Amino acid sequence: MKSTELRPRSVIADGNKVGDLERAYFDPKQREIVGFAITTGGGFMKPEGGLIADRDEIQSIGHDVIMLTGAAPTGAKTNERYGDLIDLDTLQGREIYSDQGQLLGHVEWSVFDEQSFELTELAARAGTGADSQQSIAANRIIAIGPDVVTVKADPSGPPAS
């Protein structure tokens, strides 16, 4: 699933709409989504709030909604690791460099496995044309840092200049 396709999605638990997906928490070292922030709607005399759901509190991510395994997610694991996580949306737009020092482009979106929540690829865009987009498999990623993504040079691609 593409990161850009995650929202808008409602979150359902025990037949009730709990709220709406606000963000996905991504561990850049483990390269996987570990939790989700859910905005719970306010209403008349009801303040707006939020919940955190750990990955293992998610039953499924469907085309239309996210299903929780229980009625009240705790988000304990995500909260415990919060300082090591990033909002998945902040990956979009980061520069991508090869280990040879070549700018390959910017992250246009990320793709993750819907069952394991592991990053499977990044889509990089180097320009505005249709041929300026390339897919970078997760096994080529060396590091996802706070500023840039570093990847192994593609051996089948053009040599670094």
Q: What percent of the chain has pLDDT over 90?
A: 62
CATH match of 3-87 with 2.40.50.140: no
Assess whether pLDDT exceeds 70 at residue 160.
Answer: no
Torsional sign, CA 51, 22, 1, 12 = positive
Assess whether pLDDT exceeds 70 at residue 129.
Answer: no
pTM of the predicted model, to two decimals?
0.83
How is residue 42 annotated by DSSP? Answer: -
Amino acid at 60: S
> How do residues 58-88 score in pLDDT, each as one tens digit?
999 888 899 999 888 999 999 999 999 999 9
pLDDT band (50, 70, 90) for residue 8: confident
Alpha carbons 22 and 144: distance in angstroms, whole number: 22
Residues of the chain with CATH 2.30.30.240: 3-87, 91-151
pLDDT band (50, 70, 90) for residue 30: very high
For residue 144, give both structure tokens: 């996802």
Third-level CATH fold of 91-151: SH3 type barrels. (2.30.30)
